[in-house]
Structure 1
Amino acid sequence: MIYDDDVCVGSFMFCREHGCEFCNECCTDHRFSNNIQIIDKLSAAFPGLTEYHFMDRPPISYVLEKVAVETKSSRPGDRVYECREHQKADCSTCFDWAKVALNNIKRQAKSSNSKVIPVDITRDEKLKFLHSMGVELSPNTRLPDDAIERKFRGAIDAAQSFEKLIDKPPFDPSSLPTWSKETSGETLQKSVSRNNIVEALANFRARSEGKQNAWDMYENTFIDLRQTVLALANGVDIGAYKAIVQDKDKSYAICIRIIEVRTIGKDPVMMLLYCRGTRDTPASTTFRWVQDTLAQSKAKRMPVLNITASPEEQKLLLAILNLNARRLSSNYSPQRRQTEASFVLSFLLPIAPIGQQDLGRLTNHTGCVVCGKKTTSKCSQCLSVEYCGTDCQRSHWKEHKPMCNSLKGGDWVDINFSMMSTEMRLSAAMGQKLYFSHVSFMTAPKNTYDTDNPPPIPSNIHGDSPFLIKMQKGSSVLIYDRQRSVQVYLCSDVDPKGYEKTMAQMHTGPRGLKVYRWAKRTGETRLSVCLNKAPAKDPLW
């Protein structure tokens, strides 16, 4: 019998609202009735398991979002579903639930052996996460999946400065000193807080325009994640060592208990246990923990953190925790509570914006701009982008077209830049010590440079690829890119010809004060700039 709250897709039953075999929200579990249809295949594939074991197999979830869509039926009132890929009703390929169930059981067994929480992150999601972390790759890139995975893991390690803090896994925190507010001189929240000048300037501009921050909540997954880490640290400061991280719809949640906080050098490391609960999986692993946690909170007045995080942010957090969990030494085995038997042990380091040197390493790859293979040709119109062949060039054209049109027939001018403006160098020559940032003179030395110790020459994160720069009018022309990986000066006394040609273009920009142009790094202190061709549209930075 099919109830109004159920649907039948390819002979399997699912909840109607979410398309799940098991659903906590709809209070349904169709695995028993569905198993009857495939019990022979299940038993043949797993002869050591019984029907009782199959009752607890991983459920098939969200089929109405992933593979099935309702279509018209010849009989009124009937619901018929066809697959999204072939638009075929009762598709034997897409609705092969026996195959899906078997693969789910195999994947569960594999993840159980790896001692981490299973999390399915697609290739597109990894590219979006990398983008939020500042690692810009083409959404149409043909880089192989293993290359994308290496960049994703590399970005996570760069964000938490893993290689700088931990010499070599396995990591055993037992010998590290315990962190305390008294010894560090500041709260844990402040100790784990990290930012950089790019974000500081973006937030400054946003507040001058009446916004609270440059990025709204749930706009940038990586920034949201760092806010969650700050919230966990603040929880320790106020005595809340347990947290429930869940989305607004309460469909996905991560249960966390901070065990202790150790110190690596001057950096705190939060040791923790974590487990995941979702709408489409049995809640036995987390339900009792949540019950006990809420009961203790009420009886002992122990605060519990409730942190709102999107499903995407939770996936990124799980990716970090899983990566760190694999690196922990088996010698570190803190005491667990009875409800934490299925929880995984891991740690969190302070998470910061990725530095320019690491961004350069993660963004740049030799070879074809699309797939990374050996190049055989360049774009014939702008000669700025290299490809392995016509297939990659055609696939990249839609993305490349605006830049190509901006560069075609352009006059490329070599300019030599300086790390200090003419005024700064003149002050230094006169023995005056000035403190400055990249954009203004400062009265205090914190987070600034001085005329005796100018900024180091920036590393090249763009490789041979063109990138947009802003050239801002002044007695010395300030030049910087979107990521602030390049923040330099074009000075009349260093490069008079380049300065003259650049100033001649300033009238073409907004109010005659700034222009945006394409540039390439051609030397340690040299840029080649397409001066006479503006981009199709000025970027908003």
Structure 2
Amino acid sequence: MDWTLSHSETLQVLKSMGIEIPTDTKLSGDALEKRLRDALNAAQYKDRLPSPFDLHGLPAWPLKRPNEADTRARSLFEAVQRGNMQEALQVYETKKAGGSTVPTLYVDPFMDLRQTMMGLGKYLDDGLRWCVLQDQEKEHCAVNLRVLSVLEVNERTPAFVVLYRNFDKSTALEGIDWIDEQVDTNPSEVGEVMLNVNATPLEQRLLLRVLKLNASLVPSDFKVERRRTEQSFKVSVLLPVGPLEYDALARLNVNLGCAVCGKRATSRCAGCQSIAYCGSECQRSDWPDHKITCRSLKGGTWRTIRLRSSMPGQDGKWLGFINRHTSTSLGFEGSATQRSIRKLDGSNPPPNTYDDKPFLVKFQVALVLAGLPAHMMMYDRKRTFQAFFYLEDDAWVYADFVREMEGPRGGYGGIKMYRWAKRVSEWELSVCLDREPGTDTKW
């Protein structure tokens, strides 16, 4: 069995992680592989690992001992759980409606992987140290895995050092031999029940991809005691896996390549901003197909607004972003929210990292009980630009923006919209008000 992810499976996994790439994408295989690698690193929150990451220096996790009271022990099942505001709200709404909060399995490979990690945490809490991930029919493929040690990265992040190997029909007897050795070596752990975890072939391939990626975290001089049947097993590290935070989603959902050749896009069509190219040659070759869409978007109404760097009465205070992608299980320590906290300073203009090039902006009004809100906030996907537009600065244009949000091109309950914009001065922004962006707006 081929244990690599196919083109379509890579797209399926990325989609399950919140990264929408068209099935007919022209991105190269190498580009897709890099995006998957970056996504899996982000899903494990590797940017929060100590640098350098040294397994030798990490203390042992205070494991729970079955039938033993130990106030220092901490549950691995609880520690490996990761979630965000959106998932927490969905669970709340489901509970309120009396429905099941258990995710549907064997549909979403990324959710399956997260559930397997929680299952592994539960097994370790129960004193078990090995398992077999096997397809539901128990006849096609399997991953045999033994946990060598559990180390503490921090109080909320365990690291499982594991030995693993994948098996198929041709090597099944070797896998069974390994199971027999585990039972003989640790009879009290298993009893009469084999520790088996149902995992689709795609989930198994995804797990193997993570293990291969994390093998670099194991130093070359890290000592591993292999048993008789484990001479061909590989060593790696498993970390908790959770939904991507806002900054990772924003980074991985942009620049899907030139619409013609798939190479890295360097510019957008000046007429509509809805499509990207690597250069003029590809843009010219695509014009016969693109011109109908372009002409329908061209000619939008651009309105210039005055920028402010702080909210009314909040100058000198701190502002942080919390949205549906904000982690709930990691808290704010080291999170994307904490990294985006900024001190409001009305005396300095918002940063300009785009020069005079168009960029996507999200506009969002403050919630009020009646009448027009006094201001609206705007920011780009990377959070390099953040500013405010006041009602008092231009009541007529401000009202136009609110009407646009509430109209058919808003579509988000009248409180936000996405538009193309470009800086025209330190304190001014020109916005294409009456055209929806012809591009993905995942934020």
Query: Does 1:257 find its partner at 2:146?
Result: yes
- Say if 1:321 and 1:393 are closer, same or farther in 2 by CA, change over 3 A: farther
Tell me what 2:327 maps to.
none
Tell me what 1:228 maps to.
116
Q: 1:350 aligns with which of 233, 240, 244?
A: 240
TM-score by length of 2: 0.70
Secondary structure of 2:143's match? strand
Query: Does 1:177 find its partner at 2:56?
Result: no
**What letter is aligned with 1:246?**
Q
TM-score by length of 1: 0.59
Tell me what 1:152 maps to.
36
- Say if 1:324 and 1:420 are closer, same or farther in 2 by CA, change over 3 A: same
Compute the displacement of 1:221 (Å). Answer: 2.3
> Does the 8 Å CA contact 1:417/1:494 hold for their aligned counterparts?
no
How far apart are the structure 1 equivalents of 2:62 and 2:9?
37
> Does the 8 Å CA contact 1:364/1:461 hold for their aligned counterparts?
no
Tell me what 2:433 maps to.
531
How far apart are the structure 2 equivalents of 1:367 and 1:511?
27
**What letter is aligned with 2:62?**
S
Secondary structure of 2:152's match? strand
Q: Which moved more, 1:222-231 or 1:502-511?
A: 502-511
How far apart are the structure 2 equivalents of 1:174 and 1:307?
30
Tell me what 1:519 maps to.
419
> Does the 8 Å CA contact 1:275/1:344 hold for their aligned counterparts?
yes
Tell me what 2:276 maps to.
386
Query: Does 1:341 find its partner at 2:231?
Result: yes
Query: Does 1:499 find its partner at 2:389?
Result: no
How far apart are the structure 1 equivalents of 2:294 and 2:172?
54
Tell me what 1:316 maps to.
206
> Does the 8 Å CA contact 1:471/1:514 hold for their aligned counterparts?
no
Tell me what 2:88 maps to.
200
> Does the 8 Å CA contact 2:112/2:203 hold for their aligned counterparts?
yes
Query: Does 1:131 find its partner at 2:15?
Result: yes
Structure of greater Rg: 1
Q: 1:328 aligns with which of 218, 231, 237?
A: 218
- Say if 1:401 and 1:332 are closer, same or farther in 2 by CA, change over 3 A: farther
Tell me what 2:67 maps to.
none
> Does the 8 Å CA contact 2:250/2:442 hold for their aligned counterparts?
no
How far apart are the structure 2 equivalents of 1:157 and 1:512?
31
Q: Which moved more, 1:338-347 or 1:253-262?
A: 338-347
Point out which structure has higher relative CO (alpha carbons under 8 A, 6+ apart). 2
Seq. identity, %: 29
Tell me what 2:175 maps to.
286
Query: Does 1:243 find its partner at 2:131?
Result: yes
How far apart are the structure 1 equivalents of 2:294 and 2:163?
51
How far apart are the structure 1 equivalents of 2:112 and 2:288?
33
Compute the displacement of 1:365 (Å). Answer: 4.2
Query: Does 1:372 find its partner at 2:260?
Result: no
1:451-488 CA distance string (max 9 Å, x none): xx994499999997876958566435777999997999
**What letter is aligned with 1:520?**
W
Compute the displacement of 1:143 (Å). Answer: 2.8
**What letter is aligned with 1:372?**
K
Secondary structure of 1:249's match? coil
- Say if 1:209 and 1:437 are closer, same or farther in 2 by CA, change over 3 A: farther
Tell me what 2:328 maps to.
none
How far apart are the structure 2 equivalents of 1:480 and 1:241?
50
Compute the displacement of 1:159 (Å). Answer: 2.3
Secondary structure of 1:342's match? coil
Compute the displacement of 1:120 (Å). Answer: 1.6
Compute the displacement of 1:140 (Å). Answer: 2.9
1:95-124 CA distance string (max 9 Å, x none): xxxxxxxxxxxxxxxxxxxxxxx7222233
How far apart are the structure 1 equivalents of 2:352 and 2:74?
36
Secondary structure of 2:170's match? coil
The CA RMSD over aligned residues, in Å, is 5.1
Aligned positions, number: 406
Compute the displacement of 1:317 (Å). Answer: 0.9
- Say if 1:350 and 1:205 are closer, same or farther in 2 by CA, change over 3 A: same
**What letter is aligned with 1:340?**
E
**What letter is aligned with 2:55?**
P
How far apart are the structure 2 equivalents of 1:152 and 1:459?
31
Compute the displacement of 1:416 (Å). Answer: 6.5
1:215-238 CA distance string (max 9 Å, x none): 643443223212211211121111
Compute the displacement of 1:373 (Å). Answer: 4.5
- Say if 1:283 and 1:437 are closer, same or farther in 2 by CA, change over 3 A: closer
How far apart are the structure 1 equivalents of 2:187 and 2:202?
31
Compute the displacement of 1:348 (Å). Answer: 0.9
Unaligned runs of 5+ in 2: 64-69, 325-330, 344-349
Compute the displacement of 1:435 (Å). Answer: 11
Compute the displacement of 1:253 (Å). Answer: 1.7
